[in-house]
Amino acid sequence: MATGRLLDSNRDKAGEFIGECTILHSCEPCMKSNESKTATIFCQDCDEYLCDTCKNAHNVYKPGRHDIVRIQDRTSGRVVVDMKAMEICRNPVDTSRISLSSQPWPLTLELIVSVDLSKTGDVEMEPRISGLDFMPNGRLVVVDNANKKCFILNDRLQKLGSPHKFINKPMGVVCLSQNKLAITCGKDVCFLSVSTDNIIRMRRTIHTSSKFSSICCESPFKMIVSTYDDPRPARMLSVDGVESDFDNVELPYETYKVGESACTYVQSKNTLVLTDMLAHVVYMFDTVKGTSKAITDEKIQEPCGACVGPAETLLVISRAKNSLVHLTVEGDILGTYPVDIEMPWILCMNKDGTRLAVSNILNGNMKIQLFKISTAIS
């Protein structure tokens, strides 16, 4: 396993004051362009630090509502808050009560509910779940590739509303904002909205030059997608439909078939993660420094689905082991978690890191399981 260290996040670089202690934050959109500007405002709905220049573009181009506050306004009062990297007790006299909340720790997974996805009257074929993602309010979006549908589940994995039917087979899904989704369908990326009463509506479709499968967010305006039948295993796509490649990192020159690879992105670490199921490898690429690692371990066998875990860590499915592997972006394995689900395939974590959904892709024994996540601090 490579030992080079990925670039540490410099998200906390400019301006909050707590007694005699200063927490600094940089504008996150500027950081993506390799610029360093002091953040002056914070979007509480999007959980993002911004400078005054980026504020207007954020309000115009990113869907959803935006509760914008000045950073200095967030520091008033005597409360305990989570400041991305630190948990701080606001005490102007005693500044010793500072502890790292982003320290990666092993996890505890508690099964909440498990649902068998048997063939029902509203589907033509046995379901095959190819995409999962949580909406900010906790609803779970599920993509059924076999029946060309997506649908919504509640926190007990019960169906809400009616499913949406696609022309082509859908693959992956990412929630872009409070009620906006993007779903890959081969060479199409479909943008949909979900109402509070669970009505799914198609808004627009982008036609692309590559076939995309898994999808995640790199920023509010740009998505990262894994490909199949394409020598570029991961690419970028803006919400306006502009395609681009990772020119600063050397991706494996590998043309994957559908299902052989997936990707995710750790925004605060600028780290692209790419799984290679047949080679039993998890690749990690620092998209700013241009460095890379290939992580192999006997615990990682047929890695497929991957998602960002708590405290900027990763959760990767080890399909051949019927387990999840928890690791840092440096490649250190924090723990492995067997799951009572045969050949798990896809997973996702909710926004606050307290729920994890896992599904498999085995015909005749399809399941979705929901877990409670907690940190096993010793």
Regarding beta strands 355-360 and 367-375, do their DSSP bridges make them parallel or antiparallel, or are they unpaired? antiparallel
**pTM strictly above 0.85:** no
163 vs 91 pLDDT, higher one? 163
3-class DSSP state of 126: coil
Q: Mean pLDDT of all residues in the chain?
A: 83
Q: Taking the CB of residue 301, how many other CB atoms lie within 10 A of it?
A: 16
Listed residue (218, 129, 139) closest to 178, CA to CA: 139
Instruction: Work out the pLDDT band at 52, boundaries 50, 70, 90.
Output: confident
Give residue-wise pLDDT tens across range 311-355.
Answer: 999 999 999 999 999 999 999 999 999 999 999 999 999 999 999
- Residue carrying structure tokens 């996540």: 373
pLDDT score at 377: 65
Q: For residue 55, what is the enclosing H or E element? A: helix 52-61
- Residue carrying structure tokens 């670039």: 7
Residue 352 DSSP class: T
Using alpha carbons only, give the angle 8, 9, 12 rounded to the nearest 5 degrees: 135
Instruction: Work out the pLDDT band at 270, boundaries 50, 70, 90.
Output: very high
